[in-house]
Structure 1
Amino acid sequence: MVDLTSEMAQLWASLGPPPPGPARVIQFIGARSGEGTSTVAREFARFAAERTRRAVWLVDLDFADSGQYRAIAAEPERFGPLGAAAAASPDGSCFFTVQPPARDAEGRVVADSRYLVAHPVGGSKLWVTRFRRELLQAGQGVGVVQAPDYWNALRRNAELVVVDAPALDRAQTGPLVAPFMDFSVLVLAEGGAEAGDALALKAAIEGAGGRCAGIVFNRVSLQPPGFLKAVLR
C-alpha cells in the first residue's frame, strides 16, 4: 500500500476545493495503460471524502473491469468495508446504453441504469460505482451516451464527482464524456511518458469539447504522483 496523502493534498490545493452549489465533476485519464491513473483517482476521491460535507462519488468508466470497486474491496483496513449496493442513478439516467436491450420476465425493457450500482465505502462520504457486467447477455454491447443528464443528476446529489476513465490506448470513453466534465486531469507516467503522448491526450480531450486542468506526472504506477503541473501550451 502506498500512502499518497501528501501528494493528494498538493493536488487538492492545485485544483481548489469544491465551490458551493452543484458538484464539480473531475475526470482523470491517462494516455497509456499502467500509468497509475486509477490509483491517483481513487486516492484523490478518498482524500476529498474526508474534507467535504456531502458525498463524493468515484465513477468507474471501465465497463470491462470494475477495478475501483475491486481495489477498495481489497483494502478494507484503509478504505473501510463496502456497504450494500444501491442504485447509482438518482433519476434513472445513465452515461451508457446497453444494446440490444434486454427484457425482463414481463417483456419490459431493462433500463440501462439497472446495470450500474454504487456502494458506500466504510463510514465515509465516499461512494464507488460498479458496472454489473454479469448481467450482460450474449450479443449485448455497451456504448457511451453523449448527453449531460447523468452527470447533472449526480451534481445535484453530491459535492464532488471523481471520474476514472480508461486510458486512451484502450478506449475513447474519456474523450466522449469530456464535454460533460468540469475539466479533465491528465495522468502520465513520469520517466516513461513521451511528449507526444501528452499532446495526443490533450488534443483528444480538447478536440471533443473538454477542458484540461493540468497534468499529474506519476513517477511510477505504484509510487506517489507529482502534483498538478501546468497544462501543455
Structure 2
Amino acid sequence: MKPTDEARDGARSDPPSRPAVEPGPGAPLAAEPQAAPGFAEQMVRLYAQVSHQLPARDGGAGRVVQFIGASAGSGTSTVAQAYAEAARDATGARVLLIDADRRAPSASRRWAHHIPVSLEDVALGSATLADGIIAVGNTGLSIASLSLRPGTPVPPAHSPAFARLFEDLKGRFDHIVIDAPPMADTADGTLVSRYADGVILVVEAEVLSRRAALKLKTLVQRAGGTPLGVVFNKRRQWLPAWLYRRLA
C-alpha cells in the first residue's frame, strides 16, 4: 500500500484531477472531499471495489470492514457512515455500523438513537446482543457501540468472547462496518482489527505524511489487521464546484 504523490508532496498549485479508483490491494480506494460533489457516488464505487477484493463468504456470512484514521479530523466517521449507507443502498443488505470511538461517538448522535448497552457488555455476558443493536427505523441499517465506558479497558482483542461475538454478528448481518477512533488518541482502534476482513486507512489529503501513513499501516498489521487501501479525504478544490464537476 503506497500513498499517492499528493500525500507525499503536500499542497499543489494545480487543480486536482478526478480521483481514480483502481483494483488491487493497497490502491487508493477513493479521494473525494467530504460533502463535495460526487462524494456519495465515490462511496458507491468504494463499496464496489471492496466487494471485488473481499468476495462473498461461503454460507452467506457477513463481511467486516474497518475504517481507521491517524488523527482526529481526518473524517473517518463521515467516510465510514457514508460507506455503510452505500452498502445498504447498493444491495438492500443488512448493515451494522459499529461505533468504536468511545471518547467521541458519532453514530448515535447522527441518528439520534440512545444505545443503552455496548458490544463490550455483550462480550462480557452482562447484556444480550439484541439489547446492544439499535435499528435505524426500517432503513436496513443498524448501529451499535463497541464500548460505553471511556475510563475502562475493553476486553483484549484475543478474547474468545470477542471472537464469538463477531462470528455471531457475521451470521446476522451481510455487512459490518467498524468506525474506529484515531490512532493518535487511543490504541482502541486496532483492538478489533484482527476480526475485520479488511481495514481501510482514512488519510487527510495533503496533511498526513507518507511516513505517518506507513506507520499507521504497520500498526494495523501488527494488530492482525489486513490493510485494503487508502481513502484520501478532504482533497482541496481550487476550481469552483460547478467547473470541477464539468472537468471531472
Asked whether the two chains share a fold, i.e. TM above 0.5, the reply is: yes
Letter in 1 for 2:180: A
Aligned to 2:193: 178
Q: Which has the higher strand share?
A: 1
Query: Shift of the alpha carbon at 1:122?
Result: 2.9
1:15 aligns with 2:54: no
Aligned to 1:205: 220
Does the aligned pair in 2 maintain the 1:88–1:113 contact within 8 Å?
Answer: no
| Number of equivalenced pairs | 191
Structure 2 unaligned regions, length at least 5: 1-33, 237-248
1:61 aligns with 2:72: no
Aligned to 1:123: 138
SS of corresponding position for 2:90: coil
Query: Shift of the alpha carbon at 1:159?
Result: 0.2
Alignment of 1:113-152 (within 5 A): 117-130=132-145, 133=148, 141-146=152-157, 147=159, 148-152=163-167
d(CA) in 2 for partners of 1:205, 1:44: 20
Query: Shift of the alpha carbon at 1:123?
Result: 2.1
Query: Measured at CA, do residues 37 and 85 of structure 1 come closer, stay the same or move farther in structure 2, by a change above 3 Å?
Result: closer
d(CA) in 1 for partners of 2:77, 2:175: 17
Alignment of 1:78-97 (within 5 A): 93-94=122-123
Aligned to 1:2: 35
Using the aligned pairs only, state the percent identity. 28
Query: Shift of the alpha carbon at 1:219?
Result: 2.0
Letter in 2 for 1:142: P
Letter in 2 for 1:40: V
SS of corresponding position for 1:168: coil
SS of corresponding position for 1:51: helix
Query: Measured at CA, do residues 13 and 132 of structure 1 come closer, stay the same or move farther in structure 2, by a change above 3 Å?
Result: closer
Aligned to 1:41: 80
SS of corresponding position for 1:142: coil
Q: Which has the higher helix share?
A: 2
Query: Measured at CA, do residues 219 and 64 of structure 1 come closer, stay the same or move farther in structure 2, by a change above 3 Å?
Result: closer
Structure 1 unaligned regions, length at least 5: 74-81, 98-109, 222-233
Query: Shift of the alpha carbon at 1:189?
Result: 0.4
Query: Shift of the alpha carbon at 1:14?
Result: 1.5
Does the aligned pair in 1 maintain the 2:203–2:230 contact within 8 Å?
Answer: yes
Aligned to 1:100: none
TM-score for the superposition, normalised by structure 2: 0.68
Q: Which moved more, 1:3-12 or 1:187-196?
A: 3-12
Q: Which moved more, 1:56-65 or 1:14-23?
A: 14-23
Letter in 1 for 2:72: S
SS of corresponding position for 2:191: helix
d(CA) in 2 for partners of 1:46, 1:200: 29
Query: Measured at CA, do residues 113 and 64 of structure 1 come closer, stay the same or move farther in structure 2, by a change above 3 Å?
Result: farther
